[in-house]
Each structure stands twice: as C-alpha cells, then as structure tokens.
C-alpha cells in the first residue's frame, strides 16, 4: 500500500466525520493493518476493525424457533389491534380540561369587552370640564333645595 502519512490523516478525519466511501474505508483498513502504520494508529486500528470485521457470534439456542412461532402467531391473528386505549376517566379529564380552557378564554374576552367605566372614569377630560360639571351639579342641588322649601308647609319665622 502506497499511502502517505498525510493521506492517512485525511482519511482518518473523513472516517470519523462519516464522509468516507466504502472503498476509502477499505483502503484505510488495509493501510492500518499493514506494517506501515505504527503504534500511534493502534486505537484507530481497533475501532475500524471492530466496525468492519464481522464478529463470530452464535445465536442463542431456540431463537429461530421463537421467531418462527411469533411470525406464525401474527399470521394467524392479523386483526389484533396494536392501538392502546386510554381509560375512560383519562379521556374525560382531557375533554374537561379543554372545555375549561375555552370557558376561561370566553370569560376573559367577555370581561375585557364589557369593561364598563367606573364612576371615576371618563367623567371629565381636563380640569375646566371638571369645574363646569361641579358648578352645574351645585346649581341643580340648589334649585332642588329651593323648590322643596317653597312647596313645604309654613315653617314659621326664623329664630335668632
């Protein structure tokens, strides 16, 4: 293998970035397993060998029979539903929670729209209007007081 040290570093960076092609990985594996790579490449050699060389692992006893039995059971009962049903009380909880949210929003919108001004709001815009309104109110009270005194019975002479 005629790979330079710089090419090996470039392939290592591409490999760990996940950007190598299968041919480049094979070329790097051959270079790593050759005598040209030193001990500084030992960790990389172990990683790529673990990822590329298939391990000789035996399946547990009876695994094939269990898989075949599961496939057979699935073939016999294709209508079996895999949908998980929620308990009834959980469905009502969700519905009542949503209804409560909409109710709170509707109440908030009503209160925001129907916010009637209080006695202390929007009476006068400035101090002049307030003075005129106060004078008119006092005149109205004075006229009502005089009218009620005229229509009442004789109260007699004022006392000193």
Can you give the pLDDT at residue 11? 87
Residue 8, pLDDT > 80, answer yes
More confident residue, 45 or 54: 45
Residue with structure tokens 């006092």?
A: 138
- What distances in angstroms separate CA 12 from CA 19, 27, 37, one per listed residue? 10, 11, 13
Residue 45's nearest CA partner among 80, 155, 36 is 36
CA atoms within 13 A on the CB side of 97: 6
Q: Quickly count: other Cβ atoms within 10 Å of residue 28's Cβ.
A: 26
Does this model's pTM top 0.85? My answer is no
Q: Within a domain: residue 27? A: yes
Task: Give pLDDT tens digits for 117-129.
Answer: 556 666 677 888 8
Q: Within a domain: residue 94? A: no
Q: Within a domain: residue 42? A: yes
Q: Which domain does 37 fall in, by range?
A: 5-52
Burial class (CB in 10 A: 0-12, 13-18, 19+), 31: buried
Total domains in the fold of the chain: 1
Three-state DSSP state, 36: coil
Q: Within a domain: residue 129? A: no
Integer Rg of the chain from CA: 47
Q: Within a domain: residue 143? A: no
């Amino acid at each position: 293998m005629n790979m330079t040290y710089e090419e090996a570093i470039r392939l290592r960076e591409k490999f760990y970035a996940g950007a190598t092609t299968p041919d480049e990985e094979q070329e790097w594996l051959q270079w790593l397993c050759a005598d040209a790579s030193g001990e500084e490449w030992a960790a990389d050699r172990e990683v790529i060998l673990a990822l590329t060389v298939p391990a000789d692992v035996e399946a547990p006893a009876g695994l094939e029979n269990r898989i075949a039995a599961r496939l057979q059971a699935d073939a016999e009962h294709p209508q079996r539903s895999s949908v998980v049903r929620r308990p009834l009380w959980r469905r009502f909880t969700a519905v009542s929670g949503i209804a409560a949210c909409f109710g709170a929003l509707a109440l908030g919108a009503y209160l925001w729209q129907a916010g009637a001004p209080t006695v202390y709001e929007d009476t006068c815009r400035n101090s002049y209007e307030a003075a005129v309104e106060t004078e008119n109110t006092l005149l109205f009270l004075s006229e009502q007081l005089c009218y009620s005194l005229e229509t009442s019975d004789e109260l007699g002479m004022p006392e000193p």
